[in-house]
């Protein structure tokens, strides 16, 4: 029932908001890109005020070197900041902003190829306009819920609660896993084209799996694919990535960021 209701409610919006991602996937994008960029700039500015910035010059040079090599493949000027945070995390925001946490650098042991896999992945989110897609989808679901509330079906709190749960697990979360998988593929290509060894992406996710110590939610209940799924997908795309890596090496793109 839920799978029938939500597509019906947003069909009209989908027809007027179709786009295509870098991998050729159909996307649902409603918001102006300038607005999304502005949101990214505001968020990054707020983060720089809230989180301490690392004073480790080696970390800063490493992150800037890797991000510079990767974004050279995308064009534009990107700001890179290393934040003092124990989390093994990084992010990229619309408006060409990249944040890397010291915990991630420590987890990969300064391995430039594994860190490039993460930065490439995060830049992939920006290139694929995932923030806009996500915001547009949430907006459409909220509009759909508002429409249901005006009907007899929406007068039943239990039914409305089930509809909200259906939107979360049947629409929003699976779509987020699609975005994460797509960013993995874009990031793999980016790091390979920049001259980083794409095979190291496998080692990265193996380290992530060890670091999670079995605490990752089951895939159905998670906004991210399981580590095993990620590794399998990367292995399938590896032959193409290796060709790009070899071409980059032959062209003299051989980063030495460590």
Residue 21 maps to a domain: no
The predicted model scores a pTM of: 0.81
Q: For the segment 111-159, what is each residue's pLDDT rounded down to a tens digit?
A: 999 999 999 999 999 999 988 888 887 776 665 555 545 554 444 454 3
Q: Give the least confident one: 12-16, 44-48, 196-200, 219-223.
A: 12-16
- Residue 234: beta bridge partners? none
Angle at 186 between CA 180 and CA 187, to 5 degrees: 85
Residue 2 near residue 166, CB atoms below 8 Å = yes
Confidence (pLDDT) at 141: 64
Cβ count near 122 (within 10 Å): 21
Q: Is residue 146 part of a domain?
A: yes
Range of the domain at 60: 33-250
| Active-site annotation holds for 180 | no
Per-residue pLDDT of 172-187, as tens digits, reads 455 588 899 999 999 9
Between 23 and 112, the higher pLDDT residue: 112
Confidence of residue 32 (pLDDT cuts 50, 70, 90): confident
User: Residues of the chain with pLDDT > 90: what percent?
Assistant: 57
pLDDT at 228: 86
Can you spell out the DSSP letters for 84-141? --SSS-EEEETTTEEEEEHHHHHHTTT-HHHHHHHHHHHHHHHHTTHHHHHHHHHHHH
Torsion 123-124-129-135 (CA) sign: negative
Would you say residue 40 lies in a domain?
Answer: yes
- Residue 166 pLDDT > 50: no
- Catalytic annotation, pick one of 33, 122, 209, 219: 122
Flag whether 258 is in a domain.
Answer: no
Q: Read out DSSP for 157-189? A: HHHHHHHHHHHIIIIIHHHHHHHHHHHHHHHHH
Please report whether residue 114 resides in a domain. yes
Bigger pLDDT: 11 or 44? 44
| pLDDT above 90 for 10 | no
What is the C-alpha separation between 18 and 4, in angstroms, rounded? 20
Cα 258 from Cα 246, distance rounded (Å): 20
CA distance 44 to 94: 9
Report the domain count for the chain. Answer: 1
Residue 116 lies in a domain: yes
Confidence of residue 213 (pLDDT cuts 50, 70, 90): confident
Largest interatomic CA distance in the chain: 66
Flag whether 17 is in a domain: no
Q: Tens digit of pLDDT for each residue in 69-119?
A: 999 999 999 999 999 999 999 999 999 999 999 999 999 999 999 999 999
Q: Is residue 66 part of a domain?
A: yes
């Amino acid at each position: 029932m839920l799978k029938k209701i939500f597509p019906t409610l947003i069909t009209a919006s989908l027809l007027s908001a179709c786009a295509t991602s870098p991998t050729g996937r159909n996307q649902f994008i409603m918001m102006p890109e300038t607005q999304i960029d502005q949101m990214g700039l505001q968020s990054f500015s707020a983060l720089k005020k809230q989180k301490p910035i690392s004073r480790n010059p080696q970390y800063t040079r490493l992150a800037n070197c890797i991000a510079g090599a990767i974004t050279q493949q995308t064009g534009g000027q990107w700001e890179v900041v290393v934040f003092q945070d124990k989390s093994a995390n990084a992010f990229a925001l619309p408006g060409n902003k990249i944040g890397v946490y010291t915990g991630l650098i420590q987890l990969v042991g300064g391995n430039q190829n594994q860190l490039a896999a993460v930065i490439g992945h995060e830049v992939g989110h920006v290139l694929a306009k995932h923030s806009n897609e996500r915001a547009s989808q949430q907006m459409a679901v909220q509009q759909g819920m508002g429409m249901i509330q005006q009907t007899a079906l929406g007068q039943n709190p239990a039914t409305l609660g089930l509809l909200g749960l259906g939107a979360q697990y049947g629409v929003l979360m699976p779509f987020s896993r699609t975005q994460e998988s797509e960013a993995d593929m874009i990031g793999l290509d980016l790091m390979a084209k920049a001259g980083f060894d794409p095979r190291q992406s496998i080692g990265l996710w193996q380290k992530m799996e060890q670091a999670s110590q079995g605490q990752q939610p089951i895939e159905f209940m998670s906004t991210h694919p399981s580590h095993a799924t990620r590794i399998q997908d990367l292995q399938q795309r590896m032959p193409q990535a290796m060709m790009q890596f070899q071409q980059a090496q032959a062209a003299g793109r051989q980063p030495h960021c460590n």
